[in-house]
Structure 1
Amino acid sequence: MVVASFTSLIIPGIQKGGFWQTSLGILIGFFLIGLIEYLFPHEHILKGSEGVIKSEKIKKLFLIVAGVVIHNIPEGFGVGVSSAYSIEKGSATALAIAIQDIPEGLIVTLALMVANRGVVTPLAAGIFSGIIEAFFSLLGFYTFEAFRGFLALGLGIGGGAMIYVTVKEVFPEVYSEGSHTLSTVGFLIGFLLMLFLDTTI
C-alpha cells in the first residue's frame, strides 16, 4: 500500500496538478479515514477495539468486519482514482492491492471463523467487504472522470487515505507480536513486489 500510494497516486497527482493540490488531497484523505475510524466502532485482530461506540454492545464479529471494510475503502478509492488518471496505472494498482489482500483476507477470515465457529458468515463478510471496495473504486473512477480538473486532488485523497491506514493500522498490527526481523523482511519483500508491479506492468 505504501508503494501504490506513491507510484500510482501521489506522484501522478503531483505530475498532473502540482504539489499543493495533491498535498491538500493527502490531508483530506488522512482526515476522512481518521474520522471514519473515530466514529465507527471496529476491531483489529491484535490491537483490539476502536471507535466512539462502546464495543461491548456490539458483537465482535461485526467489529472485525467493520475494521476490514474501513481498510477496503481507501484501497477501492485508490484503484478507482488511479484508473481515472490512467487505465494502465489503475490496472497495476488493482493487481498490487489484490496481491496484498490475499494474505490479509486469509488472516481476517480465519479470525472470523474462530470467532463465529463457522464458514458461511466469514465468507459472506469477505464478499461484502469486496463489494464495498468495488463500490468505492467505481465512486473514485466516475467522480474524477467527471471532474478531471480535480484529478490531482483525488489522487492525493486516495494516496493519503492509504498511507493513513498503513501507518496507523497495518504497521502496528504487524509489529505488535512475533519476530520483528521476520516482519521487516516481509515488509521489504512486499515493498519490492509492489514496486515491481507498479512500475513495470
Structure 2
Amino acid sequence: MVEFFEQFSPITQALFATLFTWGMTALGAAVVFATKNLNQRLLDSMLGFAGGVMIAASYWSLLAPSIEMSKDNAIAAWFPAAFGFLLGGVFLWGIDKILPHLHPNTPIGKAEGRRHFERKRSTLLVLAITLHNIPEGLAVGIAFGALANGGTEASLAGAITLAIGIGIQNFPEGVAVSMPLRGEGMSRGKSFLYGQFSGMVEPIAAVIGAFAVAFIEPLLPYALSFAAGAMIFVVAEEVIPSSQEKGNKDLASMSLMIGFVLMMILDVAFG
C-alpha cells in the first residue's frame, strides 16, 4: 500500500485517503438496507469505540509528532503542541455554538447551535456528524501534507495508518445517522443518503489541510496539534456523551478502551 501512495503528491494522497474514509461512512450508512432497527447497546458500543480511536489518533498520530518537530523551537518544545491543541478546541467550540446540529441518541428538543433556524431532525443529525468529520479530514490531510516537508517512508505509513483508523471509526458514524432516521420512518434510500453525506466533508478538509502545511512548513506542528485539539473536543463534547445517554456507560467505556488500544497498536506497529 505504501508503494501505491508513493507515486502521488501528498495532496493527492490525502484526497485518496479521505475518499476511503468517506467510503467507510457510506458503508456504515448502508447497514440501513439490512435492518430497520439496530440494538441500542451495539450502537452505543460502536460510538464508544469510535471515541477511543479518535483519542489514540489524536496523541500518537498528531500530538506526539507535533512535539517531536518542535524540539528546536526557540520558545519551548511544548508551545506549538499546547497552543495548537487549545486553538483546535476553541475553533470547534465556536462552530458548535453556531452550527445547528443534533447529537445521536438526543431528542430534537435538545438540538444545539443557533436555534432560530428550524431544521428537520435528519438535517440536524447530518450536521452533527459533519461537524466532527471536519477535524478528522484535517488530521488526515495534515499528516499527508507533512510528507512534502521531507517525510520518510515511515511517516507515509503513519499517515496511511491514521487514515485507516479514521475510516474504521467512520463506520459507526454512518450507522449513527442512517439507523435513527430509518427508525423514524424515512425510506432506506434517503436514510442511506443522509448517513453517507456527512462524510463528504472529509476529502474537502483533507485537501485544505494538506495544501496548507505542504507549502507553509513552520505551520506544521501547530496544524497537527490543532487537528488533535479539535478531535478531542468532539470526543468529549459529543461522542462520549452520546454513547452513554441510554444508560450503557460500562459497555461504551470498555468499547472506548478497545478502540483506543486498536488505534494505538496500528500506529505503533505500522506508523
Q: How does the TM-score come out when normalised to structure 2? A: 0.70
Counterpart position of 1:62: 123
Tell me, yes or no, if structure 1 residue 11 matches structure 2 residue 64. Answer: yes
Matches within 5 A, 1:1-201: 1-17=54-70, 18-47=77-106, 48-54=110-116, 57-85=118-146, 86-115=155-184, 117-201=186-270
Distance 1:46 1:185 in 2: 19
Amino acid at match of 1:114: G
Distance 2:252 2:200 in 1: 30
Amino acid at match of 2:120: K
Q: How does the TM-score come out when normalised to structure 1? A: 0.93
Distance 2:134 2:111 in 1: 19
Q: Is the 8 A contact 2:129 2:173 kept in 1?
A: no
Distance 2:125 2:187 in 1: 15
Please give the per-residue CA displacement for 1:139-163, whole angstroms capped at 9, x wherever unaligned: 1111101111110000011000000
Distance 2:248 2:196 in 1: 32
**Once superposed, what is the RMSD of the aligned Cα atoms?**
1.5
Amino acid at match of 1:144: V
Distance 1:159 1:183 in 2: 22
Distance 2:217 2:137 in 1: 18
Q: Is the 8 A contact 1:60 1:115 kept in 2?
A: no
Distance 1:198 1:173 in 2: 26
Q: Is the 8 A contact 1:9 1:158 kept in 2?
A: yes
Tell me the SS of whatever aligns to 2:81: helix
Distance 1:73 1:35 in 2: 13
Percent identical pairs in the alignment equals 31
Counterpart position of 2:46: none
Amino acid at match of 1:74: P
Q: Is the 8 A contact 1:29 1:158 kept in 2?
A: yes
61-70 or 77-86, which deviates more: 77-86
Please give the per-residue CA displacement for 1:26-46, whole angstroms capped at 9, x wherever unaligned: 111111111111001001122
Counterpart position of 2:73: none
Q: Is the 8 A contact 2:122 2:194 kept in 1?
A: no
Tell me the SS of whatever aligns to 1:72: helix
Amino acid at match of 2:260: F
Distance 1:130 1:184 in 2: 25
How many residues of Structure 1 are paired with residues of Structure 2 in the alignment?
200
Please give the per-residue CA displacement for 1:168-201, whole angstroms capped at 9, x wherever unaligned: 1111111222332212221111111111111112
Amino acid at match of 1:11: A
Distance 1:65 1:72 in 2: 10
129-138 or 78-87, which deviates more: 78-87
Tell me the SS of whatever aligns to 2:58: helix
TM-superposed CA distance for 1:116, in Å, is 5.4
TM-superposed CA distance for 1:105, in Å, is 1.4
Q: Is the 8 A contact 2:142 2:206 kept in 1?
A: yes
Amino acid at match of 2:238: E
TM-superposed CA distance for 1:122, in Å, is 2.6
